[in-house]
Every structure is written in C-alpha cells, then in structure tokens.
Amino acid sequence: MTQTAPRHESAPRQWIALAGFVFLVVAMGALIGTQTAPGAWYQGLDKPPFNPPNWIFAPVWFVLYVLIGTAGWLIWRRDWRTPVFGLWVAQLALNWLWSPVFFSWEMLWPAAVIIVSLLAVIIGFIALAWRIDKRASFMFMPYAAWVGFASLLNISVAILN
C-alpha cells in the first residue's frame, strides 16, 4: 500500500483539526471517567497484588487520550476513508464502552471481553497505521501496553471475584 499524502489545508485549519481531535477524545474520556469512577463496589472487590493505586489511572489516561487523539488526526488528515481510520473509531467506541460495563453495570466478564477486543483492535490499528503513518502507529504502542496490562487486571479481578 502506498502512503497517501496529507490533506493540503492551511496550517491554522490543521491545528484546529488536531485540537478538535484531542479535545474530543480527552473530554469524552474525562466525562466517562467522572461518571463511572470506582466506588464502594470496586473497593470491595478482591484484586491481584499488581493492582496499581487508583490515583495513577487519571494521569495515564490523560496522556494516552492525547496520543489517541493525535494518532487519529494523523490518519484522518491522510484519508479518513481507510480501514485504519475505521479501527481508530472502533477502538474509541470500545474504550468508552468498557468503563460503564465494568464500573457502572458491574459486569466483570463482559468487560473483559470488551477490553480484550479493544486490545485486538489497537494491535490492528498499529499494524495498519504502520503503512500509512508510522508516527500514529508509534503513538498507539503505549496504549497497547496499558490496555494489555488493564486486560490482565480485568481478567484477574473477574477470576478473583
């Protein structure tokens, strides 16, 4: 597959589009995070010894959401009609679905299915984006690592409870 050249729009429009992508992803992540924050139910669950402290999640997700938004913008500006942009949209939907299923609906195993599916989509994005924009692919690598860890954590909590 040959690389598609980026859209030739004015620099200010490109920066506005980038800001829009990042804002959308960070804002939705923050909204979902505040609406589905871990409560007493989560505190009462048995957790594996490698469970990180709760305070670590917000800063990690903030950085990841900035990378996710930027990667999406990089692919979008080349050609939003590609399968890789479809994977970007799919991972966002799965990402945003996981918290309500896990924390609000308290469904550990369905959440595990969602997060493992999310990891698969992220890996697919990394592989396909590599041919279009290596920067976007690299930006998803920390995300894949974190979601891989979160998948292990979700499955471990489901097994323990």
- Residue 131 in any domain: the answer is yes
The encoded tokens of residue 149 equal 């860890």
Q: Is residue 6 part of a domain?
A: no
pLDDT at 79 over 60: yes
How many angstroms separate the Cα of 103 from the Cα of each of 17, 54, 100, 106?
Answer: 32, 13, 5, 5
Percent over 90 (pLDDT), the chain: 89
pLDDT, average across residues 42-55: 96
Tokens 């469970």 -> residue: 51
Token look-up 């041919």 returns 131
When pLDDT is cut at 50, 70 and 90, the band that residue 3 belongs to is low
pLDDT, residue 1, reads 46
Residue 27 lies inside a defined structural domain of this protein: yes
> Per the domain annotation, does 48 fall within a domain?
no
Residue 134 covered by a domain:
yes
The mean predicted confidence, pLDDT, of the chain is 94
Residue 19 belongs to some domain of the structure: yes
Q: How confident is the model at residue 4 (pLDDT cuts 50, 70, 90)?
A: low
Element (H, E) at 9: none
Q: Which amino acid makes up residue 61? A: W
pLDDT for position 10: 73
Per-residue pLDDT tens digits for 86-135: 999 999 999 999 999 999 999 999 999 999 999 999 999 999 999 999 99
Domain residues for the domain of 71 are: 11-39+53-160
Mean pLDDT of 7-36: 90
Q: State how many domains the chain has.
A: 1
pLDDT per position as a tens digit, 15-24? 999 999 999 9
Per-residue confidence (pLDDT) for residue 12, from 0 to 100? 87
> Contact, 70 vs 18, CB < 8 A?
yes
pTM summary value: 0.91
Residue type, 72: G
Is the pLDDT score of 55 beyond 80? yes
Calculate the CA 107 to chain-centre distance. Answer: 20
> Looking at the domain assignment, is residue 5 inside a domain?
no
Q: How confident is the model at residue 5 (pLDDT cuts 50, 70, 90)?
A: low
- Give domain status of residue 4, yes or no: no
Q: Does position 8 have pLDDT exceeding 70, yes or no?
A: no
